[in-house]
Amino acid sequence: MLNVLKTITDAEREAEKMIDEATLEAEKIKLEANDKLVETYNKAYEETIAEGFYLSGLARKIYLVSGIETPKFQQQSLEKLLSKENVEHLAKHELTEIIGESAVEKVSLRSSDGKAAELDVQGVFIAGEKTPVGTILAATNMKTDSSGCIEVDGEMRTNLPGVYAAGDITCGRKFQIAVSVGQGVTAALSIIKSHAKTRRKPRS
């Protein structure tokens, strides 16, 4: 009997030890997760700068619209990007609308003091954000789930004709580059196929 009680006591101690270790490990993971969140958050801004550099070599003019809130760019990186003659930083401005028929023609902006303006552009690149922007999507009647993620079919089509989505904003498996690239390729092939069908249709 004593041996049985001793065995039970030892098992309880071992269980308590395992619980304590698991609790410490959980706290460690939680702290690491928070560190990674901050790291990812800061990295997103640096990725925006990097994309700006890349686009500055392709386009005649680049407008960096960084939002109403003060962005957390590293000052040195931002200054280096703005040293490019074709890059202009529109600080304290936010994008409110992308305008165009079959292609992007202009964008609407709003400044921190409420003033509206339009810019003639031929393309819009959204960078930096890692989570869906529900307030913008809601205004377009684009179908999203309860988390604000865009719902797409197998060809990355949204419920809006001619509008596709790929990457983190679809929330399939977030923050996985391979998944985002694969979805981007799928969307591109779907767009090509859709345009090919449209061009083959006889004109009335």
Q: Last residue of some domain: 100, 130, 160?
A: 130
Return d(Cα 143, Cα 141) in angstroms, integer: 6
Q: Which long-range contacts (CB under 8 A, 24 or more apart) does 165-170 make?
A: 168/130, 168/131, 168/132, 169/132
Look at residue 135 and tell me if it is in a domain.
Answer: no
- Could you give the dihedral angle defined by the CA atoms of residues 16, 20, 21 and 24, in that order, rounded to the nearest 10 degrees? 170
Q: Are 137 and 150 in contact (CB under 8 A)?
A: yes
Look at residue 59 and tell me if it is in a domain.
Answer: yes
The predicted structure's pLDDT at residue 185: 92
The predicted structure's pLDDT at residue 31: 44
The predicted structure's pLDDT at residue 136: 66
The predicted structure's pLDDT at residue 162: 86
Per the listing, tokens 């809006």 go with 160
Region class of 150: left (phi > 0), else alpha (psi between -120 and 50), else beta: beta
Look at residue 95 and tell me if it is in a domain.
Answer: yes
The predicted structure's pLDDT at residue 33: 41
The predicted structure's pLDDT at residue 158: 92
Q: Tell me: the pLDDT tens digits for 76-98?
A: 888 988 999 999 998 898 889 98
The predicted structure's pLDDT at residue 10: 54
- 86 and 33 in a single domain? The answer is yes
The predicted structure's pLDDT at residue 42: 52
Residues of the chain with pLDDT under 70: 1-44, 128-136, 138, 172-175, 199-204
Q: Are 119 and 104 in contact (CB under 8 A)?
A: no
- 15 and 97 in a single domain? The answer is yes
User: CB neighbours (10 Å) of residue 107?
Assistant: 20
The predicted structure's pLDDT at residue 37: 39
Query: Of 111, 14, 9, which is closest to residue 65 (Cα–Cα)?
Result: 111
Longest dimension (CA), the chain: 95
CATH number of the domain where residue 106 is located = 3.50.50.60
The domain in which residue 92 lies consists of 2-130
